[in-house]
Structure 1
Amino acid sequence: MDEDVQRGFETLAIHAGQEPDPTTGAVVPPIYQVSTYKQDGVGGLRGGYEYSRSANPTRTALEECLAALEGGVRALAFASGLAAEDTLLRTICAPGDHIIAPNDAYGGTYRLFSKVYERWGVTCDPVPLGDLEAVRAAVREGVTKAIWVETPTNPLLGIADIAALAAIAVEAGALLVVDNTFASPYLQQPLTLGAHVVVHSTTKYLGGHSDVVGGALVTSDAELGERLAFHQNAMGAIAGPFDSWLTLRGIKTLGVRMDRHCANAAAVVKLLTEHPAVRQVLYPGLPDHPGHDIAVKQMRAFGGMVSFRMDSPEAALRVCERTKVFTLGESLGGVESLIEHPAKMTHASAAGSPLEVPADLVRLSVGIESVEDLLADLRQALG
């Protein structure tokens, strides 16, 4: 697309990096299911492609689209969100370095920090990122390389002030890394608020159909983008062409899907807040949520993820077992609604750690089904 013309989000989602095929005119990028490419003489690369670990046209289309959606200069697509995180950490950290992370981060991210990187001398301190003074106090001069942010967090739906944390990171000489998986670039663009790197599990809202696993990094720093690209190639955990194509297919409808996710979630939140069996609802769209004012400032809407607490762990488990439209399953962000018990499922790896989640917590990924069916299902499950 013409970079000199300002395009709306939905237009970028459909067209960025996805010009019609010059040979056939196909309006959808082909799946270049290929490992190697004919060279025009020794070292003469046709279109810059030599081997599909280094670059593949379908993956390039996805990466260009992701960069456009996040307002970055470089995006890189990976085999999973954790592969993206691993590549980023290996790029920016060395033994002896330090990371500040949310005290309610995704269990898989915390496992990567605590079980993998600590063995190699990279330490991590979980900090309540809503407390800016606590973040400042956790900075280790010359040692802290990144402040790692989820906003909203998984699964407690905490909100962090991206712009304020970016200022702290710059002052500390560190990078601000924002996991934007829950919000998606449709609802929030951290790079425009001062973040240095955005992380995605593209498995979730970007792919949107529970049929592909992937991850991505997006940065506004061209030099950092080159370093990340070097490590992507050197480490090799790249997104394959078919996975890239599926993710691009999902991105085309991201805007309209997110509108429905948000609308359905708002209706679900209303039901839950009024139900006598529910002790607490965690959702940044609620005026009494501690991060509500910041969410209003930095998000377009409040997302499709909802968590709530019951009176006991047993009650939480019963709700998870009783739903019929909400499918009991891990992951999130697909068109279908999912329900899960984080303490025993997605966040089991955080048990016994500072990031252990309440056993009475239930997490919903609210899909795009008919909202009345979702509400009826929750009513009967809650009894």
Structure 2
Amino acid sequence: MRPTDRTLETLAVAAGEEPFRTGSEAGDVTSPLHLSSTFALPGLDSEMSLDDVDPDAGEFVYSRLSNPTRHALEKRLAALEGGEHAMAFSSGTAAIFTTALAVVEPGDHLVAFDDLYAGTRRLLEEVFATRLDVDVSFVDATETENVAAAITDETAFVWMETPTNPGIELCDIAAIAEIADGADATFGVDNTFASSYFQRPLELGADVVAHSTTKYLNGHSDSVGGAVVTDDDALAERLEFLQQVGVGDALSPFDSYLVLRGLKTLHLRMRQHERNAMAIAEFLDDHDRVSAVHYPGLESHPQHDLACEQMDGFGGILSFELEGDIDDAAAFLESLEVFTLAVSVGGVESLIELPAGMTHEPLSEEEREELGITETLIRVSVGVEGTKDLIADLDRGFDAVRRRSAVADGD
């Protein structure tokens, strides 16, 4: 449970920001942007050490170690996920890398969902497996027994992403938490696609949760960052050391300020994202040019019941299979006017992309085929624009495909 009786909506607006305790005597309602790289000390104390510095008491030394703006953000992130500790990083990849680095050692085994964001999969394969001598197993975690079967005596870390990118697949967080606990393995969940508003893995038994704050938490496509939240004091200590000293990849004050700003409207944005995504999923599900729609809000989704159990909503991201070939996909995507052809997700604007040629292009063709990432699988990050405008834009795309087909058929 969250360490407060306040609702998530209130925490999103106010957690971590208390007038007169945000580093300014002016009583700022919002945390000031503290750009200073270093902070004046009250005096030379021979007994003072960096371990004694308490940001909660307004004590700061150096911004890589702690910064008032970032500290306010970290307090809010912890509150939203229901955790005790939060660390903000320079990117989502940095957050995941640091988390894994804090948990595994050479010779350890790591179990991960096979349908991961391509950047995370490459990180595990090319850094941890290849350079750090960590044995990595990728499994279809939609079936919990596959996770259990992959566990060995050397398993130290279980890493899941739910919903996944781009298959929008789910795994049973509570069930996998029990498996990891029985194996004495740390269990981590990338919660980026759901956001803290729709899903809180710590409440379901996860040991650590990661986010790309670039996405829904910031929500405005103007900041790159990441975050990790945990209740585990020992793990938090290792993570803080790596964030501040071992790797030194803390989030900048300016990006911290932007994410703090963005979080104030998280609950409002997520409601509209979901409302639009559901309408679009239903529209696509009935379309004769679409062979499959992947969205957990649809009853046809294989993990729809699980989504209803462990999520408070279905999110704003979906993917669908367009009937045709890659040239049809190109015609569809390049004709859109409201949707922007771009990577990333979670902004207020609607984005659309072709994973096989964009976000997941680094994977081999065999890997993409194994994961169901075809040349006509399209991922949609549904924004907060007017629903009818978004559907009309998709109609524009389908019209472009029809025109292309007519020309190809000689009509």
- TM-score (normalizing by structure 2): 0.90
Within 5 Å, which residues of 2 pair with 1:167-178? Answer: 167-178=178-189
Moved more, 345-354 or 8-17: 345-354
Equivalences for residues 134-213 of structure 1 within 5 A:
134-141=146-153, 143-213=154-224
CA distance in 1, matches of 2:364, 2:345: 21
| Bigger mean CA deviation after superposition, 61-70 or 46-55 | 46-55
- 1:42-57 equivalences in 2 (<5 Å): 42-43=44-45, 44=48, 47-57=58-68
* Residues 1:5 and 1:90: Cα distance change in structure 2 (over 3 Å): closer
Q: Distance in 1 between matches of 2:33 and 2:210?
A: 24
Letter matched to residue 347 of structure 1? H
* 2:11–2:80 Cα contact (<8 Å) kept: yes
**Residue 303 of structure 2: which of 284, 291, 295 is its match?**
291
Structure 1: unaligned runs, 5 residues or longer: none
On the 8 A contact 1:155/1:307 being kept in 2, the answer is: yes
Match of 2:403 in 1: none
The alignment status of 1:382 with 2:398, answered yes or no, reads yes
Specify the alignment match of 2:328 in structure 1.
Answer: 315
Matched, 1:332 2:331: no
1:319 Cα shift?
1.6
- Which of 356, 363, 385 matches 1:369? 385
Residue in 1 that maps onto 2:9 = 10
Give the C-alpha shift of residue 212 in structure 1. Answer: 0.2
1:304 to 313, 316, 322: 316
Q: Distance in 2 between matches of 1:329 and 1:24?
A: 41
Structure 1 residues 4, 279: closer, same or farther in 2, change over 3 A?
closer
Structure 2: unaligned runs, 5 residues or longer: 400-411
Q: Is the 8 A contact 2:3 2:79 kept in 1?
A: no
Contact 1:338 1:364 survives alignment (8 Å):
yes
Distance, in Å, in 2 between the alignment partners of 1:207 and 1:353 is 34
Distance 1:299 1:359 in 2: 30
Report the alpha carbon displacement of residue 318 of structure 1 after superposing the two structures with TM: 2.1
How has the CA–CA distance of structure 1 residues 355 and 170 changed in structure 2, closer, same or farther, with 3 Å as cutoff? Answer: farther
1:21 aligns with 20
Worse-superposed segment, 188-197 or 225-234: 225-234
The answer to whether residue 240 in structure 2 is matched with residue 229 in structure 1 is yes
Match of 2:360 in 1: 347
Whether the 8 Å contact between 2:356 and 2:368 is mirrored in structure 1 is: no
Counterpart of 2:89?
78
How far the C-alpha of 1:92 sits from its partner, in A, is 0.6
TM superposition score normalised by structure 1 = 0.96
Residue 355 of structure 1 deviates from its aligned partner by 5.0
The superposition leaves residues 47-77 of structure 1 with CA deviations (integer Å, 9 ceiling, x where unpaired) of 3311110000100000000000000000000
Quote the offset at 1:136 in angstroms.
Answer: 1.1
CA contact (8 A) 1:21 1:28 kept: no
The aligned residue for residue 409 of structure 2 is: none
The whole-number CA distance in structure 2 between the counterparts of 1:135 and 1:285 is: 25
